[in-house]
């Protein structure tokens, strides 16, 4: 074996998005260290620049490419590009919405930006991982940063409790994921997903050990989705964490979870589709049932959105279990549009929150139309989109997933999902009733926030409306990413 055969020179340009984001995160850390600005303005603008520039680099270097580097441990392709740009865009929205909230509570620090950027880096590594070790490193980098972010408000017992639950249960899920990976390595002798896929296709010996590894990895992936029955952490973390951190966990991390599934299960274990489909069906059914029933009785909007997340994760899992390009494209479209819609919903919550006041009760939305017709209208758009009413982007997302599910032969599951969507209409449209038909208790919380915050939130809400009217371009992009 020659030296050239033994060592492959990595293509650093292919992995430039991750390298650039890492460099920018370190720059944010150093600049904030020497900055005297109490509002951490340089760190904010550098962070936003880092996210936008990374997205531009990703599109320019990785769209239309299908290549690996770093000895096959890193892959760049179209669907990875879509998920990366979506995660970076959601991070941009999260920072734009969070600045006033974090400053009013004394939580606006350089560490908030730095940890969030490293969490984004973990998402990007996860989405482009083509090796079990790289995949695990990306997942853990993202998770460890989120554990710290949830506990940022050290004076809040609720936040500390949420962070501890998240850490303990997350460590358990990571252990299961790692244990499953070790079984695959023990069976195949390789960490490379392409090699594992080839071994799974010709598997004869050690099939039981391979399937045990599959079970443990599905459990680890389900935890990252927050799918039932591995959902115990979700309501407490959504409720206890600072709302901007909740926004990022509820949006960008779900996009990364789709990437984790597609790399690990959809690609690496695709030959075992008959086995993992059965597990995903169970997760989807339980998520649809528990999410819709428990969300009905919530009075806190963060907990309501947490439980309703299970319903939406059930829809995403339905697209993924189809195991076909159409199902994968539908799942990616659903994840991206759902995350964008939920980001705007949390943006409205942050808009109404003020110093020493959290606008996280449903009653806080009473009479919002009288105080702010614009943001009541935006919240109306978001709620009907999450419900899946025709004419909204949520309807198209659900329709694509249901179509893929029926084509895969799971007609009964599609019927169950439609029934669940009808139940979901009750708790989403309840907020619409409160905004337009109920009188506020007292003056009610007034919309606050800077002009930039309001402008981004307005554009975010209108983007949900625009995608509901003209969904074709985004649908085509998501489907093209999985075209044979």
| Each residue's pLDDT tens digit, 316-331 | 999 998 888 889 999 9
Q: 106-152 pLDDT, tens per residue?
A: 888 888 999 999 999 999 999 999 999 999 999 999 999 999 999 88
Tokens coding 67? 């290549």
Nearest-angstrom CA–CA distance, 137 and 154:
27
> Is 294 a residue whose pLDDT tops 90?
no
In this structure, of 186-200, 238-252, 354-368, 401-415, the range with the lowest mean pLDDT score is 354-368
> Is 5 a residue whose pLDDT tops 80?
no
| pLDDT category of residue 101 using cuts at 50, 70 and 90 | confident
CB 147, CB 170: distance < 8 Å: yes
CB 126, CB 80: distance < 8 Å: no
Contacts of 53 by beta carbon, 8 Å cutoff, 6+ apart: 20, 24
Q: How high is the pLDDT of residue 3? A: 43
Q: How high is the pLDDT of residue 253? A: 92
Nearest-angstrom CA–CA distance, 351 and 364:
12
> HSE on the CB side for 64, CA within 13 Å?
3
Q: 372-407 pLDDT, tens per residue?
A: 888 889 999 999 999 988 888 999 999 999 999 999
Q: How high is the pLDDT of residue 6? A: 53
| pLDDT category of residue 7 using cuts at 50, 70 and 90 | low
Eight-class DSSP state of 447: P
> Is 4 a residue whose pLDDT tops 70?
no
DSSP β-bridge partners for residue 74: 69, 129
Helix axes 301-321, 252-261, angle to 10 degrees: 20
Q: What b-and-e string marks burial along 444-471, b requiring 16 or more CB atoms within 10 Å of the CB?
A: bbebbbeeebbebbbebbebbbebbeeb
Count CB atoms within 10 A of the CB of residue 433. Answer: 11
Tokens coding 99? 């600045």
Tokens coding 322? 């189809």
Contacts of 481 by beta carbon, 8 Å cutoff, 6+ apart: 77, 78, 79, 81, 82, 329, 332
| pTM listed for this prediction | 0.93
Nearest-angstrom CA–CA distance, 430 and 261:
33
97 CA to centre of own chain: 17
Q: How high is the pLDDT of residue 49? A: 94
Count CB atoms within 10 A of the CB of residue 63. Answer: 16
Nearest-angstrom CA–CA distance, 447 and 352:
5
Tokens coding 316? 């995403």
Determine how β-strand 74-76 pairs with β-strand 67-69: antiparallel
Percent share of the chain, pLDDT over 70: 98
Nearest-angstrom CA–CA distance, 247 and 309:
12
Length of the chain counted residue by residue? 484
Q: 245-279 pLDDT, tens per residue?
A: 999 999 999 999 999 999 999 888 888 888 888 89
Nearest-angstrom CA–CA distance, 92 and 95:
5
> HSE on the CB side for 209, CA within 13 Å?
15
């Amino acid at each position: 074996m020659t030296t050239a055969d033994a060592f492959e020179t990595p293509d650093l340009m292919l992995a430039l998005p991750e390298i650039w984001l890492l460099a920018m995160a370190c720059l944010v850390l150093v600049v904030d260290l020497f900055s005297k600005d109490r509002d951490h303005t340089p760190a904010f603008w550098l962070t936003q620049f880092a996210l936008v520039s990374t997205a531009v680099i990703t599109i320019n270097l990785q769209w239309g490419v299908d290549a690996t580097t770093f000895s096959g441990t890193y892959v760049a392709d179209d669907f990875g590009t879509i998920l990366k740009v979506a995660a970076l865009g959601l991070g941009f929205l999260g920072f734009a919405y969070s600045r006033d909230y974090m400053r009013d509570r004394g939580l606006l620090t350089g560490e908030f930006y730095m940890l969030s950027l490293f969490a984004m880096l973990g998402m990007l590594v996860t989405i482009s991982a083509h090796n079990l070790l790289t995949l695990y490193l990306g997942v853990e980098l993202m998770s460890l940063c989120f554990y710290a972010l949830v506990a940022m408000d050290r004076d809040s017992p609720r936040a500390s409790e949420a962070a501890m639950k998240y850490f303990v249960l997350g460590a358990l899920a990571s252990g299961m994921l790692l244990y499953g990976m070790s079984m695959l390595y023990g069976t195949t002798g390789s960490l490379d997903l392409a090699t594992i896929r080839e071994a799974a296709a010709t598997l004869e010996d050690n099939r039981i050990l391979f399937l045990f590894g599959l079970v443990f990895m599905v459990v680890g992936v389900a935890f990252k989705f927050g799918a039932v029955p591995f959902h115990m952490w979700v309501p407490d973390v959504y409720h206890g964490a600072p709302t901007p951190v909740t926004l990022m966990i509820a949006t960008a991390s779900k996009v990364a979870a789709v990437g984790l599934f597609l790399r690990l299960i959809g690609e690496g274990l695709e030959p075992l589709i008959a086995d993992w489909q059965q597990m995903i069906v169970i997760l989807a059914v339980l998520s649809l049932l528990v999410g819709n029933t428990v969300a009905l009785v919530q009075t806190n909007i963060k907990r309501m959105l947490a439980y309703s997340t299970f319903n939406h994760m059930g829809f995403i899992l339905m697209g993924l279990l189809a195991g076909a390009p159409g199902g994968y494209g539908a799942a990616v479209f659903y994840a991206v549009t759902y995350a964008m819609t939920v980001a705007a919903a949390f943006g409205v919550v942050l808009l109404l929150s003020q110093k020493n006041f959290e606008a996280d009760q449903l009653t806080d939305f009473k009479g919002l139309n009288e105080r702010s017709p614009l943001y009541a209208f935006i919240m109306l758009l978001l709620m009907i989109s999450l419900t899946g009413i025709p004419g909204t982007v949520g309807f198209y997302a659900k329709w694509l997933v249901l179509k893929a599910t029926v084509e895969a032969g799971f007609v009964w599951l599609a019927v169950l999902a439609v029934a669940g969507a009808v139940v979901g209409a009750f708790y989403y449209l309840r907020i619409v009733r409160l905004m337009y038909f109920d009188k506020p208790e007292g003056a009610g919380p007034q919309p606050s926030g800077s002009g930039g915050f309001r402008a981004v939130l307005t554009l975010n809400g209108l983007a949900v409306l625009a995608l509901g009217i003209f969904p074709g371009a985004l649908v085509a992009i998501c489907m093209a990413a999985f075209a044979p």
